[in-house]
Amino acid sequence: MGGIKELIDTKEFYFAAGAATIALTYGVYKFAKYLDFQDEYFQTVNNWCWVKQKCTSNRRVLVLGLDGAGKTKFVTCFHPNANPRDTVMDPAPTVGFCVKSVPIGDTCFDIWDVGGAVDGRSYWREFLLDIDVVVWVVDSSASERFFESRCALHRFLRHPETRGLPVMIIASKQDCRSALPQEDVFRAMGVDIHKHNEFSIIGTSLPSTGERKGIWQAYKMITRMSPNYMNRMNHIRAVENKVNNTKHDKVKRGDKALVC
């Protein structure tokens, strides 16, 4: 007992207690920061665990939007363990489509990157089978094409297969000087008439060299939105069975989308 009292009275004890408090505070700070970490290069998801994780679930992501909107750049940057110093090459326009499988943590993202050229847009609906979430990419720096993008999106959402599908809008090229804020891009898409879809907006800056932003948020959002899809489909089916006015509703949706 006397020994402990003596120990407490020593300078070393106070020094050690001070050091321990600082270390603990630092640990708590780091942990809090980790929880709110914007991990643009996915270094935490696959690396913090020494054992390589196996894919236990799949998400099918369909990436659409006008030509030159930034779809392929988004898909290129959407992968784990990218080196922050890597230069991302400017992609060539996509002819047809490309599929990429990206394992992140225990989830495999099957990403369908479809070319946005005018003559291919009528085939977009062919990619809708088993899709969990649609990523709609809009070039925020090309406001003169917002209307074209809006019309293309509304035309796409007129297909009955898109009912209940979550749509994440990407306001790309936020690093460009002429880029409009993501809220303006969202408003310009005028999606509030599509009551059966859930929408979200994420801004991305993916310059070829330098800091890239928005991919982590997009990953989080895709993960959040896609499991809701089945719930929404069940809900929609229940509503449709009750009201039994599907045909009338489709016509109504078509009329409104003609505002384009």
Ligand X SMILES: Nc1nc2c(ncn2[C@@H]2O[C@H](COP(=O)(O)OP(=O)(O)OP(=O)(O)O)[C@@H](O)[C@H]2O)c(=O)[nH]1
Task: Using the structure block, give the residue that is written with the tokens 């990218």.
Answer: 82
Residue 172 engages Mg ion in binding (rule: CB under 5 A): no
**Which of the choices ligand X, Mg ion, none does residue 73 contact, using the CB cut-off of 5 to 8 A by kind?**
ligand X
Residue choice 41, 42, 59, 72 for contact with ligand X (CB under 6 A): 72
Nearer to ligand X, 121 or 256 (CB): 121
Q: If binding is defined by CB under 5 A, does position 174 make contact with Mg ion?
A: no
Q: Which of 91, 155, 187, 200 binds ligand X (CB under 6 A)?
A: 91
Could you tell me the smallest distance in angstroms from the CB atom of residue 13 to ligand X?
55
Which residue in 126, 171, 124 sits closest to 145, CA to CA? Answer: 171
Which window, 15-23, 171-179, 185-193, 250-258, contacts ligand X (CB under 6 A)? 171-179
> For residues 181 and 259, what is the distance between their CA atoms, to the nearest angstrom?
24
Give the 3-state DSSP-derived string for 30-86, with helices as H, strands as E and coil as C: HHHHHHCCCCCCCHHHHHCCCCCCCCCEEEEEEEEECCCCCHHHHHHHCCCCCCCCC
Kindly write out the interface string for residues 63-92 of this chain, putting x where it contacts Mg ion by CB under 5 A and - elsewhere: --------xx--------------------
Task: Note whether 73 binds ligand X by CB under 6 A.
Answer: yes
Instruction: Give 45 or 77: the residue with its C-beta nearer to Mg ion.
Output: 77
Q: Report yes or no: 208 and 90 within 8 Å, Cβ to Cβ.
A: yes
* Part in contact with ligand X (CB under 6 A); list of ranges 10-18, 113-121, 153-161, 181-189: 113-121
Total residues binding Mg ion (CB under 5 A): 3
Does the footprint of Mg ion cover residue 94 (CB under 5 A)?
yes
Question: Which one of 45, 59, 62, 94 is in contact with ligand X (CB under 6 A)?
Answer: 94
Rounded to whole angstroms, the Cα distance separating 173 from 73 reads: 10
The CA-atom distances, in angstroms, between 53 and each of 1, 48, 56, 178, 185 are: 50, 11, 9, 42, 37
Q: How far is the CB of 243 from ligand X (least distance, A)?
A: 38
Give the one entry of ligand X, Mg ion, none that residue 90 binds, where binding means its C-beta sits below a cut-off of 5 to 8 angstroms depending on kind. ligand X
Give the residues lining the site for ligand X (CB under 6 A): 65, 67-73, 90-91, 93-94, 115-117, 137, 172-173, 175-176, 204-208
Instruction: Give me the residues that bind Mg ion (CB under 5 A), please.
Output: 71-72, 94
Binding residues for GTP: 65-72, 116
Binding site: which residues? Answer: 65-72, 94, 116
